Structure 1
Amino acid sequence: MDVRNSIRDWYKIPKGILRLCFILINNLYSIPTYVMWMFLLLPLRKVNPEVYWKIEGYFFHWLLAMVSLWSYSAGYNIVELGDDLTECLDDRTLVIANHQSTADVPLLFACFNPRKQIIPNIMWIMDSVFKYTNFGVVSVLHKDFFIMSGKAKREKSLQEFRKHLLNYYIPLKRKWLVLFPEGGFLRKRKAISQRYAEKMNLPKFEHVTLPRVGAMQVIMDTLSQKSVINNNSNSENSDKTEIPKIEWVLDITIAYPNGWPVDLSHIVFGHREACETIMFYRLYPCKDLPQDSENLTKWVFDRWSEKEKMLDSYYRTGTFTCDFNSKKCVGPRRAVVQDYLRFAILHVFFIASTYLHVQMFVAAYNYYNYFVY
């Protein structure tokens, strides 16, 4: 039996190398293609910005589909439980989720990818360090927001976040906002969170960390009711814009098998055995949420206390329970299924676009040489 396991494990090495090579090459012909198309379409942004941003949304969705393929092809599947998302797919929705590892965002990509309404109209709120990753330029062009961590920068960052909502989220007609209130990975923040909880006489969590409510408070203050504002010169829209109202809050509890999070290295190399990640949804009408800071903080803390109970139960028993306020809401398991034919078509598109862009560069270089020399 040990010999068989050893032989099987040997396959993980060439498999991991092949996956790494594929992902690196995939990055090389996908991300530059997105950037080039956005550059070539800049004149359209001046003439008809609404059409430009609609096209950009499609390109952004196609690019994130590439990332969805990475986890799906490695066997890291997603199962959805809880509330049905049908009601909020086309509405303005704030997504809040617990944060455990580097795989949280790619798996959310994979979760949203089959739903055509979400990714083209989404805005991600992420730590400023992600600006310097391979996807940083994409997020900058898509107008995602990079929030700065640290107490000294927090107030300034929240002020900039409010301006970003007014200057981009509203004029670009984004729908979904994705926020990780914990502000960092579980393994990095757990000890700090527990020390703070002990100091402030708050519950000490094992499977989540105490959430920060600042960014969510800015969203609620800015987008909780309809009004009209005067845009500044940085806005993508005309002089006056109606502020849209956030209609839903979608609370996602991300649960990994046995409490062992999938991480980015697993997705890249595929060396972890295939497994299922649970996405547990609870959908709340925004009108039912408290607006003032104190009660909103309590509301968010209550949700995180429920997450702690759900995750503790899941890790101990292997099943989810949700019986809060006498509401049974586990529901049927719904597997997220990706479309390999769509993946193939998108790869052909990105490869063909890369070839076209290279030919354009070669032609421009030859043209330059002809007239200069």
Structure 2
Amino acid sequence: MEYFKLLFSCSVGHLCKIVVRTILVIINNIYCIPTYVVWMMMIFPLKKYHPELYWKIEGHLFHWLLAMVSMWSWSAGYNIVELGDDIRPCLGERTLVIANHQSTADVPLLMAAFNPKKGVLPNIMWIMDHVFKYTNFGIVSILHKDFFIVSGKAKREESLQELVKHLRESYIPLHRHWMVLFPEGGFLRKRRETSQKYGLKNNLPVLQHVSLPRVGALQTIMDEVGGHPEKLANNNVHGAGSHSHHLNWVLDITIAYPEGKPIDLGCILTGSRQPCTTFLFYRVYPCNSVPRAHDAMTKWLYDRFVEKEHLLDKFYRTGEFPSGAMPPQEINQDTLRFVILHLFFIVSTYIHYQMLSYVISYFWLF
């Protein structure tokens, strides 16, 4: 792992910095995640009697928690530059986000990229590997109604049926906007060799910088909330908004790390790697442009990842992406907002501690 290689090559001063930063991140987790969970328990009655207010509060708390995650990469000097198509039409609209998957840093960096964009993180749904459920952040994703997908042939069909159920029971009624999917189904370093063998065997593209994507989840999503292309084409997609349960856009993000060397979560937590810049290249497609027939959809998705292969190959050689409607611009975070959110979580933790102490003392005396 990148983190361990960097750790053993660090100077004493840098190693001390890593230790201090790691302790601070752990403390940050301690006073943020439990606070989110306790607040959700306290407002739980609203879920039955005023669900709209409950989910609005939850969305804000979820956003604030993800802002803390955004702060980790930002404070370590891991900047993000976005470019390509203009994604403003996607804001506030039901949008499927697809991205290449290289490392454990992909999700935190996407969180950091989405954090300054109004209304995105409170109304987002992440589709992630079921293993994530058992991490410290798993309880947060469960309460937020993210979806945990199970990989592997044995569970594939069952997992896709669960996705259909989740879309019907959570994504649509909770008025979620963006839905994030990693079609490759795993990290590049784990999938590359298998993907290349599969490509050679089936006369498909043999890719180096991405792997061949899996179409199952995309097909399921499009069948369930993609709508009918003919009807969507006859409607004004720009005015459809979030009132429709159909997707309006597909946002294709190509994540490019400097020199093709991905940051990982360990680097983000410890700051062990030197500051660097990660690029996010955007392509935006109207949902009605995505074919619905299985073979045509498979080709469409493969074409997206072949394009990513070419984009990344050029970027790693030249450091450049094609020009687009949105010129390269660095994503800026709000320092004052981070300070205010820290104070909120710290004060909340103190309040919850006092409440818990009172309850324990009451029953102890009783």
User: What TM-score comes out, normalization by structure 1 length?
Assistant: 0.90
2:333 alignment partner in structure 1: 338
1:135 alignment partner in structure 2: 137
2:278 alignment partner in structure 1: 277
What is the one-letter code of the residue matched to 1:182? E
Give the Cα separation in 1 of the matches to 2:106 and 2:137.
15
Deviations 1:273-293 (A, max 9, x none): 110000000000001111111
Deviations 1:25-51 (A, max 9, x none): 000000000000000101111110011
2:363 alignment partner in structure 1: 368
Out of 147, 150, 163, the position equivalent to 1:148 is 150
Deviations 1:298-336 (A, max 9, x none): 101001000000000000111113xxxxxx527411110
Q: How does 1:60-209 map to 2 (within 5 A)?
A: 60-209=62-211
1:257 alignment partner in structure 2: 258
Give the Cα separation in 1 of the matches to 2:205 and 2:108.
30
Q: CA RMSD in A?
A: 1.4
C-alpha displacement of 1:84? 1.2
Give the Cα separation in 1 of the matches to 2:264 and 2:295.
35
Deviations 1:175-206 (A, max 9, x none): 10000000000001101111111111111100
Give the Cα separation in 2 of the matches to 1:285 and 1:360.
50
Give the Cα separation in 2 of the matches to 1:300 and 1:285.
14
User: Which 5+ residue runs of structure 2 have no aligned equivalent?
Assistant: 1-9, 229-242
Out of 224, 227, 239, the position equivalent to 1:225 is 227
CA contact (8 A) 1:125 1:179 kept: yes
CA contact (8 A) 1:30 1:350 kept: yes
State the structure with bigger RCO (CA 8 A, min sep 6), 1 or 2.
2
What is the one-letter code of the residue matched to 1:186? L
1:239 alignment partner in structure 2: none
User: Which 5+ residue runs of structure 1 have no aligned equivalent?
Assistant: 1-7, 227-241, 322-327
What is the one-letter code of the residue matched to 1:350? F
Runs of 4+ with >3 A deviation = none
Q: How does 1:227-246 map to 2 (within 5 A)?
A: 244-246=245-247
Give the Cα separation in 2 of the matches to 1:151 and 1:79.
37
Give the Cα separation in 2 of the matches to 1:224 and 1:312.
31
What is the one-letter code of the residue matched to 2:211? T
The answer on 1:36 being equivalent to 2:31 is no
What is the one-letter code of the residue matched to 1:333? P
What is the one-letter code of the residue matched to 2:311? M
C-alpha displacement of 1:9? 3.2
The answer on 1:292 being equivalent to 2:293 is yes
1:230 alignment partner in structure 2: none
Return closer, same or farther for 1:134/1:362 CA change in 2, 3 Å cut-off. same
1:306 alignment partner in structure 2: 307
What is the one-letter code of the residue matched to 1:366? S
Give the Cα separation in 2 of the matches to 1:269 and 1:199.
42
What is the one-letter code of the residue matched to 1:124? W
What is the one-letter code of the residue matched to 1:359? Q
Give the Cα separation in 1 of the matches to 2:326 and 2:35.
41
Give the Cα separation in 1 of the matches to 2:113 and 2:296.
31
What is the one-letter code of the residue matched to 1:346? L
Deviations 1:254-277 (A, max 9, x none): 000000001111111111111000
C-alpha displacement of 1:135? 0.5
Give the Cα separation in 1 of the matches to 2:88 and 2:34.
34
Secondary structure of the corresponding residue to residue 126 of structure 2:
strand
Aligned residues: 344
Give the Cα separation in 1 of the matches to 2:59 and 2:101.
25
CA contact (8 A) 2:251 2:283 kept: yes
Return closer, same or farther for 1:367/1:331 CA change in 2, 3 Å cut-off. closer
Give the Cα separation in 1 of the matches to 2:226 and 2:125.
17
CA contact (8 A) 2:113 2:331 kept: yes
C-alpha displacement of 1:243? 6.5
CA contact (8 A) 1:320 1:330 kept: no
CA contact (8 A) 1:254 1:279 kept: yes
2:346 alignment partner in structure 1: 351
CA contact (8 A) 2:86 2:325 kept: no
C-alpha displacement of 1:366? 1.1
Secondary structure of the corresponding residue to residue 321 of structure 2:
coil
C-alpha displacement of 1:66? 0.5
Give the Cα separation in 1 of the matches to 2:87 and 2:20.
36
What is the one-letter code of the residue matched to 2:357? V
